[in-house]
Structures are given as structure tokens and as C-alpha cells.
Amino acid sequence: MQLKTINKLCCPFDKQDLTLQVLTKDLDQNVIEGILTCNTCSRKYPIVYGVPIMAPDEYRQIQLEQPIVEKWKLEYDLVDVKLLPEG
């Protein structure tokens, strides 16, 4: 997915802006792996194989998303990969 497209995305929970952390890009500068973080509610949305996994809480499959970000955590030395905010 291209940066200019990603920049148009907003958080499905509160429609606020997201901050993109790019982990891998392809030769055309498309983001292949990354994490979008909501500046307001701190929810995180992974980009997997170029596709942002963005859904409201009730449709998220955290049990599928979490292993992906746990792998990235080791691979890219990330500190905080909690997908949903505390409480």
C-alpha cells in the first residue's frame, strides 16, 4: 500500500489521525509491513502483506493479529505492540 493512501486512513474507533511506523517497503516504496497507531486512543493496526488490518473492536481478530506483531517485535526490536489500549 502506498504512503499517500495510508495517510488518508483514520482510526475506525474515533476517526482520528494515525501515525505510521514502517517496518518493510518494497522497491516501489509501497509499505508491506507496518503498524498504524491512533494518536488519540492508542489502538494499533498492523499492515500485513501491504494491507492495513483495520476494523472496529468487535470485528477485530486479536488472536490472529497478535502473533504477527509479536513476531515483528522480535524481528524489528519493537518495544510496545499492544493492539488495544488498557482497560
Give me the least distance between CB of 45 and Zn ion, in Å please.
9
What is the separation of C-alpha 27 from the centre of its chain, rounded to a whole number of angstroms?
A: 20
11 binds Zn ion (CB under 5 A): yes
Exposed/middle/buried for 80, CB within 10 Å: 0-12, 13-18, 19+? exposed
3 binds Zn ion (CB under 5 A): no
13 binds Zn ion (CB under 5 A): yes
- Binding residue for Zn ion, selected from 31, 35, 36, 38, defined by CB under 5 A: 38
**Integer Cα distance of 73 and 82 in angstroms:** 10
Give the residues lining the site for Zn ion (CB under 5 A): 11, 13-14, 16, 38, 40-41, 43
